[in-house]
Chains A and B, each alone.
Chain A
């Protein structure tokens, strides 16, 4: 049947801002979500592994690095969730007809995302308050238990990612919807038959380990003045992890490219000017990141690491742009540009002014934090944040 007869209509109400602006906010919003989300996903597994490998020596770098990472996770989870609001909001607005439909088809696994994140999120706090701050790490058994808990937490997050990959690919395939719904109307479907699903998911999962490595390096930069040896360990180990994950990304990336519907990969290889340019840029950024981190790997060079970090962030941004293009190309039946626009100028200006104010506020808050954590604690029972 013709898929267009099954794609729902937009509401007969105008969009509140021009489509290009909404798309920009969608891409930027997803970028700001992807960074902390990757830290959580890769960082969870990484902290479990580091704590486990350092289980016999709490003074070991591995244990200390794992602890620093695990202690910071709730903060990153919180930001991953909050930053998730933006892309979720704009994907609903711009591609609602596809997104709502695919969500309904897999309603049960989709809504279970909430419960899985909730449980995993609590587990991240349990590790901190029941283990790290409660004397439970005095013996190896406690340490092993805490690393197991972190592993279960991470499996939860990995499952959430898998469910997202299901929905994000299912929304692109209207031709599957009707038979899927006829098969099960209770929202118990998944998009497991999709050739893109596994390589796409793996591509994002492997990326999270690269980002986790970078995060460890950032922790290393943070404590460079206080503990040079430990700092060096984290920068070198983080860089190595980044390099390993990125090398693994080469075959996974090729597999993902190959799994795309006919003609799509070619658009990134010359078929589409903007697509090719951005894809090319992402490759250049990745090369810079690889070279810089490889150099940081050998002597824990902070400047090189920072270059690698920046280049990696730019690679992610470019790839997110390509990901968005792929959605636009595949979703020929949902055309946001056909919806009339009545720009809500008053609200838009309020939003922009507030966004600027927020940035200023966050800068002030960060400065406050840096100052607070540079000074010694005023009372013995004060809490300590992350890397120490």
Chain B
């Protein structure tokens, strides 16, 4: 309500973040895990004086350098661009609290990138010992970037004592900091192993290919065995209300959106199990028969686990952007009672300017929709309001919206899943009028309502 809202038709703003984030997660985890892989593999090459392995690493490191420095870095900045467009209040809150942490992370980025370039360009130009040192330094710096950003990512789901103290360290070293860190390191190692399988499967020398494929399989199996144990620890640390929505959602609510959370959990568990069996019976027991195509299939499985798990983590945080502090629509939890009495359109800078400036000719119902619904819904695309409203007439929409104002979970089944509606009665009615009007069910008595919602009329 403090900022204008970027209207993204059909897809919705959150998916803009989602698409960029998924790509970034695959690449950044590869960057960190790959650093560990390169360092370990180079150590083996050094100990065994294995020139084959050295040559393989040289080839792999070019692919690695280009992917991580170009796509990794750019999509990372892309997440930042997208969150500030879709969730400016949330982004500003994170920035105002953690600027210096980000600044510190930047220092490690510089060290990481500089090391990556020197590492890549000095193959055969420095002693083998120095080169191995560079590989290890790269690994350390890339892990350090994770050590820092993990504090901010986990903060959003479990801000812990920060809610009261507003002390950065309380928010940073929050309850899921350590389990989150370990899970991520496992995922990173797994993705690195899978990328390495892809490049290993293309080694021309059959003997050495077999050796490398087996090496990667050995790298992968323990990771997937450890995964479930750490995940259990992680789930124990997150707000239990959020955990409940995973499981109760599937039983009590017929709406697909909530049960998806449980489905995602099961899917990620099934996929992980598949990968362990796959890795054991495939590349480990039968490394000779391992081909490039199987490696790609393997990779798809691995990225699907990562994707579903990350998506689940995002869903767990609903309806908040910072748990118990700020809702996904940018309204702070503490502001809700005040808004409900004073009126939403009198509070925020942009919401009130849009609703109260005659030149904007905005429909107040649509303004409330933009600010309070559009952070998760679209008119006729993703989580379509037209579909959700269905055949409801204006009166039943009013009833539904009144339920969304209830703080008691008994009376409001959406409590803990959707933010409470922060609006006074008049605003609620105009929102209902707008929403019912989407399917042509608005009462004729109210002012004419636009159906587009793509621009303010």
Q: Measuring CB to CB, which residues of chain A are less than 8 angstroms from any residue of chain B? A: 1, 5-11, 13-17, 22, 25, 74-75, 78-79, 81-86, 88-90, 92-93, 96, 100-101, 103-105, 107, 110-111, 113-114, 117-118, 121-122, 125, 129, 177-179, 181-187, 339, 342, 344, 346-348, 350-351, 354-355, 358, 361-362, 365, 368-369, 371-373, 375, 377-379, 381-385
Query: Are A114 and B77 closer than 8 Å at their CB atoms?
Result: yes
- Asked whether A350 lies within 8 Å of B104 as measured between CB atoms, the reply is yes
Which of B16, B109, B114, B125 contacts A373 (CB under 8 A)? B125
A182: which of B78, B124, B359 is its contact (CB, 8 Å)?
B359
**CB pairs A–B below 8 angstroms (25 shown):** A1-B353, A11-B89, A17-B100, A82-B73, A82-B106, A84-B77, A85-B109, A89-B106, A90-B99, A93-B99, A101-B88, A104-B6, A111-B16, A114-B74, A118-B70, A122-B70, A181-B4, A182-B456, A339-B96, A368-B118, A372-B122, A375-B125, A381-B58, A383-B120, A383-B123
Chain A residues within an 8 Å CB radius of B62: 129
Cβ of B340 < 8 Å from any Cβ of A?
no
Give chain A residues whose Cβ lies under 8 Å from the Cβ of B113.
Answer: 78-79, 82
Q: From A16, A184, A383, give the contact of B96 (CB < 8 A).
A: A16
Pair B92/A10 contact, Cβ less than 8 Å? yes
Known contacts A88-B80, A114-B74, A125-B66; is-contact A75 B117 (Cβ 8 Å): yes
Specify which of B3, B95, B111 is in contact with A101 (CB 8 Å cutoff): B3
Interface check B349, CB cutoff 8 A? yes
- Residues of chain A lying within 8 A (CB to CB) of residue B108: 354
Q: Taking the complex as formed, is B298 at the interface, i.e. its CB lies under 8 A from any CB of chain A?
A: no
Contact indicator per residue, chain B 54-69, by CB within 8 Å of chain A (1) or not (0): 0000100010001001
Bound together, the chains give a CA A377 to CA B126 distance in angstroms of 9
Would B85 and A103 count as touching, CB distance under 8 A? yes
B110 contacts partner chain A, Cβ-Cβ < 8 Å: yes
Chain B residues near A355 (CB-CB < 8 A) = 107
Task: Say whether B357 faces chain A, with CB atoms less than 8 Å apart.
Answer: yes
0/1 per residue, B71-98, Cβ < 8 Å to A? 1011101101110110011011101111
B102 neighbours in A (Cβ, 8 Å): 85, 89
Interface residues on B, range: 35 or more
> What's the nearest-Cβ distance from chain A to residue B62, in Å?
8
When C-beta atoms are compared, the residue in chain A nearest to B326 turns out to be A11
B88 touches A104 (CB 8 A): yes
B240 is an interface residue with CB less than 8 A from chain A: no
CA distance A92 to B89 in the complex (A): 11
Chain B contacts for A177, CB-based, 8 A: 4
A125 to B70, CA, bound (A): 10
**CB closest residue in chain A, given B7:** A185
Q: State in angstroms the CA–CA spacing of A60 and B291 once bound together.
A: 47
B360, CB-defined interface residue at 8 Å = yes
Q: Which residues of A contact B103 (CB under 8 A)?
A: 25, 86, 89, 351
**B455-A186 in contact (CB<8A):** yes
Say if the beta carbon of B253 comes within 8 Å of chain A: no
Beyond known contacts A8-B3, A22-B99: 4 more, CB 8 A cutoff: A86-B106, A93-B99, A354-B107, A365-B115
Pick from B6, B66, B360 the residue with the most CB of A within 10 Å.
B6
B418 interfacial by beta-carbon distance below 8 Å: no
> Which chain A positions have C-beta within 8 A of B248?
none
Q: Are A93 and B123 in contact (CB under 8 A)?
A: no
| Bound Cα distance from A348 to B4, whole angstroms | 33
B104: chain A residues within 8 A (beta carbon)? 347, 350-351, 354
